């Protein structure tokens, strides 16, 4: 039962990001860069792959590398508004993806 709620939350976050991208495409404020979508997809695939293939140190290493790289990317090269949106989303998404990759718990 918990896996279904995690998957639905993951779909909700991805739909929200897609909606923000659509608003931006239609002429709204520039919130999300295309690089952010690529960074998010690459991070999810990298962490899910590392946690699926080998649990333990590779999974923790992938989580740490992606978390530190995301934080420094948005801290050094982004603004505070973008960092306030993406850092919590990255933390939640990577936690959910790593749980799902290890079998849901």
What pLDDT sits at residue 1? Answer: 46
Low-confidence ranges of the chain (pLDDT < 50): 1
HSE-CB of 63 using CA atoms within 13 angstroms: 19
Domain ranges of the chain: 2-101
Pairwise CA distance, residues 73 & 71, whole Å: 5
């990317």: which residue's tokens? 73
Q: Is 33 helix (H, G, I), strand (E, B) or coil?
A: coil
d(CA 89, CA 13): 8
pTM here? 0.60
Question: What is the pLDDT at residue 4?
Answer: 65
Question: 80-101 and 2-25 are packed helices; what angle lies between their axes, rounded to 10 degrees?
Answer: 150
Q: Give the pLDDT of residue 6.
A: 72
């Amino acid at each position: 039962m918990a896996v279904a709620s995690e998957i639905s939350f993951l779909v909700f976050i991805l739909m929200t990001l897609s909606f923000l991208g659509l608003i931006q495409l239609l002429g709204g404020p520039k919130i999300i860069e295309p690089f952010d979508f690529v960074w998010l997809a690459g991070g999810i695939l990298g962490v899910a792959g590392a946690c699926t293939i080998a649990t333990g140190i590779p999974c923790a290493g992938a989580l740490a590398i992606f978390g530190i790289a995301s934080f420094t990317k948005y801290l050094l090269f982004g603004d505070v508004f973008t960092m306030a949106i993406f850092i919590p989303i990255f933390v939640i998404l990577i936690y959910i993806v790593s749980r799902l990759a290890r079998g849901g718990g």
